[in-house]
Amino acid sequence: MFLYTKNFDEQKAKAMEGLRRALAENKVDGDVIPLLEKINSLENYFTTSSCSGRISVMEMPRFGDKVNSVWLGKWHREVTFEEVLEAIGRHSKGQLWFLVRSPILHVSAKTMEDAVKLLNLAIGLGFKYSNIKSVSHKKLLVEIRSTERMDVPLGSDGELWVDEEYIKKIVNLANAQVRRFKGKLKRLEREVEELRS
């Protein structure tokens, strides 16, 4: 069966208006904008959300309670040891975590064939956790995700469990992951033109 998205052009127009507003309000990670522009210039695709990947320090009341968590520091780039220490210094209660999250892009495709083409391209470029997130006549959504990730508990209720040498080591590891996934995003930006119909 040939599956296609109904009202694709209307959905794309609405999504592009939302993106224009987000850009005007500076709510889009700057380094992913050229990739979004390339994808959105393709006739059979449009982006619905994106994050270029990040390093963060987070305070959680309990493990997994993202709703009530507080960002103590969040960067969509490499970080310095000093920046991380400053964020850690703001910790007072709950659990303290150092996190790395890889990029994530949600892209709507016009047909199943388009979705599979994009999925295969993304996986081939190292976005190994990519998948087709939604399949229906209303929406064909491809999620582009990479494998880089860190979840490191650092302390609880104002007490730090690790020393500064350990923090330096995890910051270096995190920055290496950021360099790796930013490189993948650049390769995707270069090669997404292959999807032009």
Q: What is the pLDDT of residues 145-197, one digit of tens each?
A: 999 999 999 999 999 999 999 999 999 999 999 999 999 999 999 999 888 86
pTM comes to 0.91
Report the alpha-carbon distance of residue 73 to residue 83 in Å, rounded. Answer: 8
Low-confidence stretches of the chain (pLDDT beneath 70):
1-2, 197
Q: What percent of the chain has pLDDT over 70?
A: 98
Please tell me the CATH code under which domain 8-195 is placed. 3.30.1960.10
DSSP letter for each residue of 15-66: HHHHHHHHHHTT-S-GGGHHHHHHHHHSTTEEEEEEE--EEEEEEESSTT--
Domain range list for the chain: 8-195
